[in-house]
Amino acid sequence: MNLMIASDYDDMSLKAANLILAQVTMKPDSVLGLATGSTPIGTYQQLIERFHAGDVDFSRVRTVNLDEYRGLTREDPQSYYYFMQEHLFSHINIAPDASFIPDGMNDDVQAVCDAYEETIRGLGGVDLQLLGLGNNGHIGFNEPGEVFEKETHCVDLAQSTIEANARFFASVDDVPTQAYTMGIQTIMNAKKILVIVNGAGKAEILKKAFYGPVTPEVPASILQMHPDVTVIADETACGGLL
C-alpha cells in the first residue's frame, strides 16, 4: 500500500485528481470506477477544472459506479445517478452512454446484480477504482459482517450508515434502507485502487482498515491484500498513524 499524506482536503482532492488524470492520459479509454459521498466531491471539482483547462479528454473514458440506493429514481436528487450527473458527468465530455450504475428502481435483485457484473466484465474490468471510506469501514456499501460478499449484491444498510447519510436527506426516515453495491471481489478485481480519506472523524477507521487485521468486520481491510492500492489521506485523518 502506498500512503500519500495530504495537507488538507483540497490537497487530497488535487493529488487524487492528478492520479486519475495520469490514468486517463496513459489510457484514454480507461474504465474508471467511481464513488459518491462527500469525500470525492473536491476530486471531481478538480477533474472538471482540469477538463476546462484543456488538460484532459474524457471522450473515450467509461465509468462504473460502486453503488446505488434501492428505490430512488434517477431524477431523485439523493440518488447516486443524480449525484454523478451533478458533480461530474454534466460538466465534462464523457459520452452519455459510457457511464454505468446499478438500476435502483429494478426490484429484480438477481437481475440487477447479474447485469451489473456482466456490464463490468463487458467493459474489460476496472482500470482504476476510486473509493471513499465509510465511518464503519465500509467500501461502496459493503457493510461490516461475518463474510466478505463477493459480487454485486443488495445490502441492508447498517443503522450507522443510515444515520451518517441522513445529512443528505430531509430526515433519517427518508434514507433508503437498502442499496445495490459492487461486492468486495468486484472491487478487488480492479487493476488499481485509489482510496481517499479526510478528517479527524476517519482517523480511527483509517488506522483499523490499513494497519489492523484483515476482517469482514472492517470491509476496507481487505484492501491490504490488493497489489496496487494508493491511499491519499489528509493530515487529520492520519492523526492515529503519525
Q: Is 35 in the site for ligand GLP (CB under 6 A)?
A: yes
**Look-up: residue for cell 496513459?**
26
**Alpha helices in the chain, H assignment, sequence order:** 9-26, 41-52, 80-87, 109-122, 159-165, 184-188, 203-211
Where in 162-221 is the site for ligand GLP (CB under 6 A)? 165
Rounded Cα distance between 211 and 224, Å, is 8
Instruction: Respond yes or no: is residue 136 known to be catalytic.
Output: yes
Find the binding residues for ligand GLP in span 135-154 (CB under 6 A).
140-141
- Of 143, 149, 189, 234, the active-site residue reads 143
Q: What's the min distance (Å) between Cβ of 120 and ligand GLP?
A: 16
Active-site entry in 117, 127, 136, 149:
136
* Segment contacting ligand GLP by CB under 6 A, of 30-38, 48-56, 71-79, 88-96: 30-38
Stretch of residues binding ligand GLP (CB under 6 A), selected from 31-39, 43-51, 102-110, 205-213: 31-39
Kindly tell me which residue out of 13, 14, 37, 113 binds ligand GLP, with binding defined by CB under 6 A.
37
Q: Give the C-alpha separation, 45 to 196, whole Å.
A: 14
Q: Is 138 a catalytic residue?
A: yes
- In the complex, least distance from residue 59 CB atom to ligand GLP, rounded to whole angstroms: 26
State which residue, 35 or 194, has the beta carbon closest to ligand GLP.
35
Q: Which residues of 140-169 are buried (b: 16+ CB within 10 A; e: fewer)?
A: bbbbbeeebbebbbbbebbeebbebbeeee
* CB neighbour list of residue 184: distance below 8 Å, 6 or more residues apart: 139, 142, 148, 149, 150, 219, 222
Distance CA 31, CA 23 (A): 10
Question: Where in 60-89 is the site for ligand GLP (CB under 6 A)?
Answer: 66-67
What 3-state DSSP class applies to 186? helix
Query: Among all residues, which ones are annotated catalytic?
Result: 67, 136, 138, 143
Residues found near ligand GLP in the complex (CB under 6 A): 35-39, 66-67, 132-134, 140-141, 161, 165
